[in-house]
Chains A and B, each alone.
Chain A
Amino acid sequence: MLEIKNLYVRVEGKEILRGLDLKVNAGEVHAIMGPNGSGKSTLANVLAGRSDYEITNGSITYQEKDLTEMSPEIRACEGIFLAFQYPVEIPGVNNIYMLKAALNAIRTYQGKSKLDAIEFLNLVREKLKLVRMKEDLLNRSVNEGFSGGEKKRNEIFQMAVLEPRLAILDETDSGLDIDALKIVAEGVNSLRSRDRAIILVTHYQRLLNYIVPDQVHVLSEGRIVKSGHRELALKLEEKGYEWVKQEADAA
């Protein structure tokens, strides 16, 4: 589904990603861990098409197409969803109104009919239950005045409604209480299917108790320096990142 080869990315003249390789197949869940500032969010933003990130080398192929050629909204319409590490507040814009605009833009692109108000509300009710989000958040301005946890849950709610093919969750588990964490995990698990893929950026192996990944990668200094399975996350939690770095440097 997604293949990244030898990716180099610059931000404000500074090289952040340096030869990153990653392959994610449909049906898989990949966890990406790594020290602060190693480039995890950069990777997520580059996949979503943020413009201030300059790709200086390498390629990104998504569903047999060159992803770098697509604008952010086309990527979204092609099924890429990013749950932001820091969801953005948009004063005055109704949360549910924006979501309806998003869903209908994507559906139109995909050649499906737009949902009318009733159909949309039914869908919203169903997904609301899934992520157990408070209904009053629907009619507030997008993320404005939401608590940290509410913002994260709103991201998962949007994801549940938009049903992306490739979901990238950037530290969606950070700042969530245990109950919320479980709910987010349920939301993600319910999305798991043969034709979808999920990339989880996280600092805590705890999340992986609830969402069992197919692969775990360590991103350090702009590259994937180690990949493994569930156990790698446990080992990282126990030993930190230093040993991985040393191993990588030795190689």
Chain B
Amino acid sequence: MATRSQDVEYLVKKEYKHGFVTDVDSDTVPPGLNEDVIRLISAKKNEPEWLLEWRLEAYRHWLTMQEPKWAHVRHKPIDYQAISYYSAPKSQQDGPKSLAEVDPKLLETYEKLGIPLHEQKMLAGVAVDAVFDSVSVATTFKEKLAEAGVIFCPFSEAVQNHPELVRQYLGTVVPTGDNFFAALNSAVFTDGSFCYIPKHTRCPMELSTYFRINAANTGQFERTLIIADTGSYVSYLEGCTAPMRDENQLHAAVVELIALDNAQIKYSTVQNWYPGDKNGKGGIYNFVTKRGDCRGENSKISWTQVETGSAITWKYPSCILRGDNSRGEFYSVAVTNNYQQADTGTKMIHIGKNTSSTIISKGISAGHGQNAYRGLVRVTKTAENARNYTQCDSLLMGDKCGAHTFPYIEVKNSSAQIEHEASTSKISDDQLFYCMQRGISPEDAVNMIVNGFCKEVFKELPMEFAVEAQKLLGVTLEGAVG
């Protein structure tokens, strides 16, 4: 039994389990992007005039922009005219219905993915919005949430039922022209989730959205907007999967979080888009803009992400620490295997007084995977007594993969205290042999070591998600004893 590095690589090669395709009749707009397509999407969603104008403005801006080139990723040019910008199962044409009316094929799809939508079968305490290609197919526990005054619904429904809230907050954290992919999303976004937590309300359950890409040659452009009003708290989870296909598919989402005075938002992601095959063919391009605005005093936004999927991940969940005493957190595990590439990290923008931020990033690279941490800590002139702690650790398996760290620090206020720690390590043959000599199989040994490496991030995830994340890394649950 060999324990060389090649074997370590072999051990982390896990099959993608969510690669099936659901055979549903879809209403899919032909590939191509122009103002007519945008008008069509807007009309399908029965949107008010201002939103159509907002989209068109974003589109016109996008036409003037260039794809960003600075990320440490490589891919063939994306043909934006070859993508279909809208695809919805025909059975869902009249918008989301009650669970009883949802197409059984769709329910079956989510069941297969481990997300049963029947409330009696669901995890108690987690409400789910299920987004299938361009539309939301079901949202559970809506009534229960409504009792608490919490609004949790598909974005397109929020546009109809709560236009004033949408109009007040949409694009205030990520402006339409923020970056190339955000502009594209603003022009063509189809669905996503909307949450509003009223003042002084602790959301009675975890909210979650499960994104599923099914149709071929489509892009998924969802938009999520979460508003935590004064003194409220919400924990939101997001999961994603897609079928195995040889072509790359684009997923360009925008997520905006707004926390007002004394409000807290905890946002967790387990991203498991199809990563492509072992030779790097196919997979999702996951180009996502996520940003939280700690707009109020003493507000807090915490991002936790476990990124295991996608061919390319380009994503920097960030916090604007505007309110005095506000706090931002970023906990990340990013795994790249085979030919996956990840360029991910965060931006912490300190503006208010006594703001603090914590960044814990764990990058795991195996096979030919490339993993980059890119982070910016900016302390503006007004940010008296800002604190940041950053820790970036990389774990390498084998010798063909890479880990890169790009920490940027800009400090304009001398009272700031910034700490940065970084490390790179390898799972050594000695460690594996030591475990095996104690009777532990090499698979379990790798899992144990990887799990140990990610521990600080996993403990930030809500319980159900932590289990999911650990399973995803193929790891055994640690900490059962002691």
Chain A residues in contact with chain B, CB under 8 A?
A: 48-52, 71-73, 75-77, 81-82, 84, 87-94, 96-103, 105-106, 109, 117, 120-121, 138-139, 141-142, 158, 162
Contacts and interface: CB of A to CB of B under 8 A. Distances in A.
Contacts of B444: 101, 105
A76 B438 contact: yes
Interface string B410-443: 0000000000000001001111011111111110
B452 interface: yes
A73 B452 contact: no
A88 B440 CA distance: 15
B482 A51 contact: no
A169 B445 CA distance: 22
Contacts of B439: 73, 76-77, 102-103, 105-106, 109, 162
Determine which residue in B2, B435, B438, B451 has the highest number of CB atoms from chain A within 10 A of its CB, and name it. B438
B178 to A, nearest CB: 37
Contacts of B451: 92-93
Contact of A101 (B2, B431, B440, B482): B440
Given A96-B481, A117-B480, A91 B434 contact: no
A73 B453 contact: no
B478 interface: yes
B448 A98 contact: yes
Contacts of A141: 452
19 contacts: A48-B433, A49-B1, A72-B1, A72-B3, A72-B433, A73-B441, A76-B438, A77-B439, A84-B437, A88-B433, A90-B431, A90-B435, A90-B448, A97-B479, A101-B448, A106-B439, A109-B439, A141-B452, A162-B439
Given A51-B1, A72-B3, A98 B481 contact: no
Q: Which of A81, A87, A92, A139 has the most CB of B within 10 A?
A: A92
Interface in B127-167: none
Nearest to A90: B431
A97 B476 CA distance: 11
B421 to A, nearest CB: 14
| Max count, chain B CB within 10 A of own CB: residue among A72, A84, A120, A138 | A72
Residue among B429, B440, B478, B479 with most chain A CB within 10 A: B440
Contacts of A162: 438-439
A155 to B, nearest CB: 10
B455 interface: yes
Contacts of B441: 73, 105
Given A73-B442, A98-B435, A92 B430 contact: no
A49 B441 CA distance: 13
Interface of B: 1-4, 425, 428-431, 433-442, 444, 448-449, 451-455, 476, 478-482
B438 A51 contact: no
Given A51-B1, A71-B436, A76-B436, A90 B452 contact: yes
Contacts, number: 113
Identify the interface centre among A75, A77, A98: most chain B CB within 10 Å of its CB: A98
A102 to B, nearest CB: 4
A158 B430 CA distance: 17
B1 A93 contact: no
Given A51-B3, A101-B448, A101-B476, A88 B434 contact: yes
B1 A92 contact: no
Contacts of A139: 482
A121 B453 CA distance: 25
B482 A92 contact: no
A88 B430 CA distance: 7
A62 to B, nearest CB: 15
Given A73-B441, A81-B437, A120-B481, 10 more contacts: A49-B1, A50-B433, A51-B2, A72-B3, A76-B436, A76-B438, A94-B478, A97-B479, A109-B439, A142-B434
Contacts of B478: 93-94, 97
A97 to B, nearest CB: 6
B448 A93 contact: yes
Contacts of B449: 90, 92-93
A177 to B, nearest CB: 25
A35 to B, nearest CB: 24
Contacts of A120: 481
Contacts of A89: 431
A107 to B, nearest CB: 9
A158 B440 CA distance: 13
Given A93-B448, A93-B452, A98 B2 contact: no
Contacts of B3: 50-51, 72
B437 A76 contact: yes
B441 to A, nearest CB: 5
Highest count of chain A CB atoms <10 Å: which of B433, B455, B476: B433
B452 to A, nearest CB: 3
Given A51-B4, A73-B440, A76-B439, A92 B452 contact: yes
B436 A72 contact: yes
Contacts of A52: 4, 429
**Nearest 7 interchain pairs by C-beta:** A92-B452, A71-B1, A102-B438, A76-B439, A93-B452, A88-B434, A72-B436
Nearest to A96: B482
Contacts of B436: 49, 71-73, 76
Contacts of B452: 90-94, 141
Nearest to B423: A91
Contact of B438 (A91, A98, A121): A98
Contacts of B429: 51-52
Nearest to A92: B452
A86 B246 CA distance: 48
A158 B437 CA distance: 11
Contacts of A93: 448-449, 451-452, 478
A87 B433 CA distance: 11
A142 B432 CA distance: 13
A102 B481 contact: no
B360 to A, nearest CB: 13
Nearest to A50: B433
Contact of B437 (A48, A100, A109): A48
B453 A91 contact: yes
A128 B454 CA distance: 29
Contacts of B435: 90, 98, 102
